[in-house]
Structure 1
Amino acid sequence: MEFKKSQAIKTSVVACVIDEQERVLLTRRCIEPFCSLWVMPGGKIDHGEPILQALHREVREEVGIDVQVEGLIDVFEHIGVGERNDHFVILYYRAAPLSRELAPNGDECTEAVWVEKNSLPQIPMPPGGRHILSRVFPDLPWHPERPQDVSLEEELPGGNIKAAGH
């Protein structure tokens, strides 16, 4: 009998980093899936790696800061993503920044910015990020999907955005 392993579910962890001014840390993703969209820092949990250790590692690797984890917000599932039809289960944790000097790594993200909470519904991001942020900020005018009038080539709306290190 021949045994063929099916595709595995990819388990990831993401930090919803919110500072004392209620700004959220977003990064511009430069790899698939979701290349060019704005996401919160995170990534795959390595085999044998504790979940929160993975969260701290991913945030340090992607943007160079340390965070204090405050608790699990929710779990979101992406099914049928990309050419490989990937299946992701993502654990989203709320976190507070312990440092502010953002240093995007360039391998996974090209930019890192602090975004004012009122600007969040207009930002092009994957459905999981929108779902989580709508749970954190339910008073904002969220849409189920990314607003259709915002192209991926457009930059973040001006005025309420703080660039890395500001």
Structure 2
Amino acid sequence: MADKTFKKDHIVTSVVAVIVDDENQVLLTKRNVDPFKGEWVMPGGKIDLGEPIIAALQREVMEEVGLQVEVDRLVDVFEHVTPGDDNYHFIILYYLCRPLYCDIAHNLDEVEEARWVPRSELGIYRMPQGTRFILGKLFPELCSCEM
């Protein structure tokens, strides 16, 4: 078996906020940077060394879309491994969150576009497998759930 090489010699732990409003709309962001550039995901990012998980989640949401959120619960943990040209290995913690308000002010350096997407329209967006899998845990009609 050939050795796999990665950009970093460690696993990156990230947090992602699955932000659902009172009308069952989910906040999706179209990525402006790799990984997943051009795809629709939910706000999140890396946990800084020494930073508490929930603080990292709230910081990333504020940095990317300018929202304050209340963290409800852990939805699931997802592993994303892409050896080869991409060379990423992430452990991603997905948390269900409620927005304290719904006005978005997205960071154009990271996010091309951000929008509240009705539950019934989630299936038409181009998103990574992990994003679709996690949304399927909350909205079963999206789930092929075989991972």
TM-score by length of 1: 0.80
CA shift at 1:83, angstroms? 2.4
1:62 equivalent in structure 2: 64
List per-residue Cα deviations over 1:2-60 (Å, max 9, x = no partner).
xxxx6110100000000000000000101001000000000000000000000000000
Cα 1:82–1:38 shift into 2, 3 Å: farther
Matched residues, percent identical? Answer: 52
1:85–1:64 CA distance, 2 compared to 1 (3 A) = same
Of 67, 74, 77, the residue aligned with 1:75 is 77
**Cα contact 2:106–2:113 (8 A) shared by 1:** yes
Shift in CA distance, 117/82, structure 1 to aligned 2, threshold 3 Å:
farther
CA deviations 1:89-125 (Å, max 9, x no partner) are 0000000000111011011101110000011112100
In structure 1, distance between residues paired with 2:61 and 2:127: 18
Question: Corresponding residue for 2:18?
Answer: 16
Residues 122, 72 of structure 1: CA spacing in aligned structure 2 closer, same or farther, 3 A cutoff?
Answer: same
Between stretches 9-18 and 122-131, larger displacement belongs to 122-131
Structure of higher CA gyration radius: 1
Deviation of 1:81 (Å)? 5.6
Partner of 1:104: 106
Report the TM-score, using the length of structure 2 for normalisation: 0.89
- Give the residue type in structure 2 aligned to 1:78: H
Number of residue pairs matched by the alignment: 139
**Could you tell me how far apart the structure 2 residues matched to 1:125 and 1:62 are?**
17
Q: Who is 1:43 aligned against?
A: 45
Q: Which amino acid aligns with 2:130?
A: G
Unaligned runs of 5+ in 1: 1-5, 146-166
Please give the secondary structure, in 1, of the residue aligned with 2:85. coil
**Which has the larger displacement, 81-90 or 97-106?**
81-90
User: Partners in 2 of 1:85 and 1:109 — Cα distance?
Assistant: 22
Per the TM alignment, residue 144 of structure 1 is displaced from its structure 2 partner at its CA by 6.5
In structure 2, stretches of 5+ residues that fail to align are 1-7
Equivalent residues of 2:19, 2:96 under 8 A apart:
yes
Higher relative contact order (CA 8 A, sep 6+): 2
In 1, Cα distance between the equivalents of 2:139 and 2:84?
A: 29
By how many angstroms is 1:142 displaced? 3.5
Q: Residue 141 of structure 1: CA displacement?
A: 4.3
- On the 8 A contact 2:40/2:125 being kept in 1, the answer is yes
